A = this chain, B = another copy of it.
Amino acid sequence: MSAAMEPMKARRLYLLLREQILSGEVQDAARLPSEPALAQEHGVSRVTVRRALDKLASDGMIERRPGSGTFVSAGQAHMPVVADLANAFTHLVEMGRKTGVRLISFSYVNATPALAEELKLDPGEKLQRSIRVRLIDGQPFSYLITHVPERIGISYSEADLASTPLLELLERSGLVADKAQQIIGATLAGPDVAAALDVEIGAALLSMSRVVFEASGRGIEHLQALYRPDRYSFHMELARTGDTGARRWTAADSRGLTQANENNQDTEKKNARDKRPPLKRRTKNETGRDPSKP
C-alpha cells in the first residue's frame, strides 16, 4: 500500500529537516515554512517536500494541521528501554528473563580469521553461530549474533537458546566468565536486521560487540548486538569525585532500566513492511518464546 524506500531527494530533505529539528536549530513547537515555501527554499518540487514531511510525521516529529501549517512536535518520546552502562551485563541477564526471544538461526560454521583471533581460538576450531532477536512487550529491540566455540556450544541445546540467556547457559556448564571487552558503535541496518527489528533498511542502529573470556584467557563468547536506538540505549549517571587538580568522573550506580514511557507513537507507526520483491532474502524460522524456569 506504500512504497518501501523513500527516494533520494525526499530522503535528503527529510534528513535535513530532521537534523534541524533534533539539533534545536528549529525552535520547538514552531511552525515550519509552508510546503510551497520549503519547496522553493530547497529547490525541489512540492511533492518531494511532501514526501519528506510525511516521513517526519510518521516519526512523530512534526504535526500537520490542514489550513494552519506544519508544527514541530515537541516531546520527542524518550527511550522505552534503557540499559545502565555501568553494569549493563546484569541488566541484560535480568532482561533476558523478562523479555521474549526469537531464535532466527542456529548452525556450526568455520571460524573466520578475525573471529579466531578475537576469541583466541585454536587453529581449525569450529564455532556455533546463532542469531536471536530480543523482544520486549512483543516488540523487537535487539538483534544478537553470537559465536561460541563448538566444544562449549554443545553443552546446551538449540531450544535452550530460545529461553535462557547465553551467559547463564555458559556458566551452568561450568565455565567461569572472567573478563570481557565491549565496544559500542553505530551502524546501518541491512535487510535482514531491518526486517527482524522492524525498521527501515537504511536505519541507524546502536551496535555493541563483546568478547567474553574465561580465566585461562580463552574466549568463550563473541557477541555482536544491534539495537534499535529508539527502543534501547545506554545510560550512565556520573558523579564527580576528587578535588580540583585530580577531578574525575565515576559511574554512579544509577538504578537503571527505566522502562517508563508508554505513549510512544510507535503503535501508530505504520508497521507496513516494505516489499522489495526482487531482492531475495533467506527465509528464517521463527521461534517465539517466553521465559520460565527458576
Contact = CB atoms under 8 A, between A and B. Distances in A.
Interface in A156-194: 171, 176-193
A204 B188 contact: yes
A175 to B, nearest CB: 11
Given A19-B191, A178-B240, A234 B202 contact: no
A118 to B, nearest CB: 11
24 contacts: A5-B11, A15-B188, A16-B191, A16-B279, A18-B188, A24-B109, A24-B145, A27-B110, A28-B112, A43-B277, A44-B279, A74-B112, A85-B182, A87-B249, A89-B238, A90-B248, A176-B240, A178-B239, A179-B239, A181-B235, A181-B237, A183-B236, A184-B184, A207-B229
Interface in A261-293: 276-281
Interface residues of A, number: 93
Interface in A107-129: 109-110, 112-115, 129
B74 A113 contact: yes
